[in-house]
């Protein structure tokens, strides 16, 4: 299968490229290096050593005996999208090339506009190019569990059956996102459903939870790392907690810490995306997966990091409940369904506690890099203070 990965340089894009290559597929990557640039703007960077794309591709092809095609450019430019789609005519496209940080989108109007325009612009260019060039290809697009928010009822996988005033229908489950970033994914989802309805494009919309971890099997065997972000804008909860433990900083549970999210390891995220690619939807089908392993409260995660951190590092790890910079419920019901991937054959690779040990050991190994970006770790982006023009 020929797969184009949009956002190949990212946290998930690079390990997915390695897995596809290892399994004998043809891989073509596209990236504008947006994440590298934006992370350095907030005074941070990946603490794992990541090479530039030329060297990453060289390392991967040395190991797996096959090379990766690459286009540098911005998918918000329709001419660019049409150009590489015409040349490559892929069987599948994995779309990971979006602004992926909720805090970034909440810094101010500039970042909010950038997030909405960039994310929706890239996706609309892509569905038009698919319709015109490869109408039977499979689009596997990364959405987020955060599209649903935290309603006081169970969350289905995309659609639910509803009875209203005596009539029944199966409808998209209502969305209630918590940042401009998460809303941009909701808007994408609506646009994808419509593209499917009018042109019959085959689409998998993946509602993914928070991903954690430093490695996958392929990263381990090639030693070709993926990025690992630790700052308050680009780093995510569990990864940041491990870094805080290693640096002797308090683990920052926001608010009461009772907010729950679905989590999965990087290894499992890649396995699930591979399942989605290897078992595509029918022509004309739009399907939705809720992609996570288990859900945990922030307090549970902080406690696991404390317990494992103290064992590995041999000193106390403090948990600190800081003022929640976000506007979100920090105590709520949470019961999302996640059956479909299991029906396709997904089996979690391990457990969160075992993975935690590996993350803490890796972060400890790259501790010098973490120290360089220490000032960017504590929260400073407050939803209520998002800057407008004044
Ligand atoms: N949190 C803390 N302390 C911290 C950082 C975060 O308590 O130091 C809490 C947040 O308040 C939030 C939860 O942890 O309730 C998750 O925050 P996060 O920063 O780990 O993740 P989030 O902003 O939701 O976004 C991340 C990825 C995004 C992806 C999303 C999946 O950046 O690309 O879509 O996870 S989900 O959360 O399921 O929507």
> Could you tell which of 7, 205, 237 is best to mutate to test the pocket of ligand 1, judged by most ligand atoms within 8 Å of the CB?
237
CA distances from 191 to 166, 180, 204, 273, 282 (A): 29, 16, 13, 21, 19
Protein residue whose Cα sits closest to atom 15 of ligand 1: 259
> For this structure, is 67 an active site residue?
no
188 by Cβ neighbours in 10 Å (0-12 / 13-18 / 19+) ranks as buried
Distance (Å, whole) CA 388 – CA 390: 5
Ligand 1 atom closest to the CA of 147, numbered from 1: 39
| Structure-token pair, residue 248 | 């002797």
Res 322: pLDDT? 97
Ligand 1 atom closest to the CA of 235, numbered from 1: 19
Among left, alpha and beta (phi > 0; psi -120 to 50; other), residue 126 is alpha
> Could you tell which of 211, 261, 289, 384 is best to mutate to test the pocket of ligand 1, judged by most ligand atoms within 8 Å of the CB?
261
| Residue of 11, 64, 71, 181 marked catalytic | 181
Ligand 1 atom closest to the CA of 254, numbered from 1: 7
Give the phi and the psi of residue 58 in degrees, each rounded to 5. Answer: -60, -50
Q: Which residues contact 93 (CB under 8 A, 6 or more apart)?
A: 3, 4, 6, 126, 130, 137, 138, 139, 140
Ligand 1 centroid–CA 209 distance in Å is 9
> Could you tell which of 155, 178, 210 is best to mutate to test the pocket of ligand 1, judged by most ligand atoms within 8 Å of the CB?
210
Ligand 1 centroid–CA 89 distance in Å is 35
**Strands 26-31 vs 2-6: parallel, antiparallel or unpaired:** parallel
Ligand 1 centroid–CA 212 distance in Å is 11
Protein residue whose Cα sits closest to atom 1 of ligand 1: 237
Distance (Å, whole) CA 210 – CA 262: 6
Q: Which residues contact 197 (CB under 8 A, 6 or more apart)?
A: 286
pLDDT tens for residues 100-156? 999 999 999 999 999 999 999 999 999 999 999 999 999 999 999 999 999 999 999
Q: Which residues contact 366 (CB under 8 A, 6 or more apart)?
A: 47, 48, 49, 228
> For this structure, is 104 an active site residue?
no
Largest distance between two CA atoms of the chain = 63
Q: Any idea which residue has 């595509």 for tokens? A: 280
Protein residue whose Cα sits closest to atom 23 of ligand 1: 102
Q: Which residues contact 173 (CB under 8 A, 6 or more apart)?
A: 148, 155, 156, 158, 159, 160
Res 353: pLDDT? 86
Please state which CATH number belongs to domain 2-379: 3.40.50.720
- Please list the alpha-helical segments (H only) found in the chain: 13-22, 34-41, 53-64, 78-88, 102-105, 109-133, 180-199, 217-222, 237-246, 266-278, 298-313, 340-344, 352-365, 367-372
Res 350: pLDDT? 82
Give the phi and the psi of residue 225 in degrees, each rounded to 5. Answer: -70, 155
Q: Which residues contact 251 (CB under 8 A, 6 or more apart)?
A: 241, 244, 245, 302, 305, 306, 317, 318, 319, 320
Ligand 1 centroid–CA 237 distance in Å is 6
pLDDT along the chain (390 residues), means of 10: 98 98 98 98 97 97 96 98 98 98 98 98 98 98 98 98 98 98 98 98 98 97 97 97 98 98 97 98 97 97 97 97 96 97 94 92 96 97 97
Res 256: pLDDT? 97
> For this structure, is 144 an active site residue?
yes
**Helix/strand/coil (H, E, C) string of 170-217?**
EEECCCCCCCHHHHHHHHHHHHHHHHHHHHCCEEEEEEECEEECCCCH
Protein residue whose Cα sits closest to atom 21 of ligand 1: 236
**Strands 294-297 vs 260-265: parallel, antiparallel or unpaired:** antiparallel
Res 4: pLDDT? 99
Distance (Å, whole) CA 231 – CA 43: 9
| Residue of 48, 115, 144, 216 marked catalytic | 144
Ligand 1 centroid–CA 240 distance in Å is 10
Q: Which residues contact 390 (CB under 8 A, 6 or more apart)?
A: none
What residues form DSSP beta bridges with 141?
95, 205
Q: Which residues contact 110 (CB under 8 A, 6 or more apart)?
A: none
Count of Cβ atoms closer than 10 Å to residue 312 Cβ: 17
Ligand 1 centroid–CA 233 distance in Å is 10
Ligand 1 centroid–CA 261 distance in Å is 8
Ligand 1 atom closest to the CA of 101, numbered from 1: 32
Ligand 1 centroid–CA 101 distance in Å is 9
145 and 326 in contact (C-beta within 8 Å)? no
Give ligand 1 pocket residues (Cβ under 6 A): 100-102, 144-146, 209-210, 236-237, 240, 252-254, 259, 261-262, 298, 326, 328
pLDDT tens for residues 257-268? 999 999 999 999
44 and 373 in contact (C-beta within 8 Å)? yes
| Residue of 11, 71, 148, 185 marked catalytic | 185
Res 357: pLDDT? 94
């Amino acid at each position: 299968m020929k797969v184009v990965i949009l956002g190949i340089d990212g946290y998930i894009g690079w390990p997915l490229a390695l897995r596809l290559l290892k399994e004998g597929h043809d891989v073509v990557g596209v990236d504008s290096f947006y994440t590298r640039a934006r992370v350095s703007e907030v005074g941070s960077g990946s603490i794992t050593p990541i090479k530039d794309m030329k060297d990453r591709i060289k390392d991967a092809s040395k190991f797996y005996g096959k090379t990766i095609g690459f286009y540098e450019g911005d998918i918000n430019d329709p001419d660019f999208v049409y150009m590489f789609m015409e040349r490559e005519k892929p069987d599948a496209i994995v779309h990971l090339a979006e602004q992926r940080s909720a805090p970034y989108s909440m810094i101010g109007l500039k970042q909010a506009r950038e997030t909405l325009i960039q994310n929706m612009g890239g996706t609309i260019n892509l569905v038009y190019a698919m319709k015109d060039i490869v109408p039977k290809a499979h689009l596997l697009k990364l959405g987020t569990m955060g599209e649903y928010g935290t309603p006081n009822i169970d969350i289905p996988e995309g659609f639910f059956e509803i009875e209203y005033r005596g009539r029944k229908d199966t409808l998209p489950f209502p969305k209630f996102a918590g940042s401009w970033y998460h809303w941009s994914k909701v808007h994408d989802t609506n646009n994808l459903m419509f593209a499917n309805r009018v042109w019959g494009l085959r689409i998998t919309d993946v509602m993914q939870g928070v991903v954690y971890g430093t490695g996958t099997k392929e990263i381990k065997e090639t030693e070709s790392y993926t990025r690992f972000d630790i700052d308050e804008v680009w780093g995510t909860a569990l990864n940041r907690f491990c870094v805080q433990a290693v640096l002797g900083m308090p683990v920052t549970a926001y608010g009461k810490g009772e907010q729950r999210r679905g989590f999965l390891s990087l290894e499992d995220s890649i396995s699930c995306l591979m399942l989605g690619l290897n078992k595509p939807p029918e022509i004309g089908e739009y399907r939705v997966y809720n992609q996570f392993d288990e859900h945990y409260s922030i307090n549970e995660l902080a406690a696991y990091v404390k317990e494992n951190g103290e064992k590995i590092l041999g000193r106390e790890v403090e948990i600190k409940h800081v003022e929640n910079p976000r506007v979100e419920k920090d105590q709520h019901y949470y019961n999302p369904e996640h059956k479909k991937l299991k029906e396709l054959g997904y089996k979690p690779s391990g457990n969160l506690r075992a993975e935690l040990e590996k993350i803490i050991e890796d972060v400890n190994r790259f501790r010098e890099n973490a120290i360089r970006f220490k000032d960017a770790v504590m929260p400073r982006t407050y939803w209520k203070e998002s800057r407008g023009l004044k």
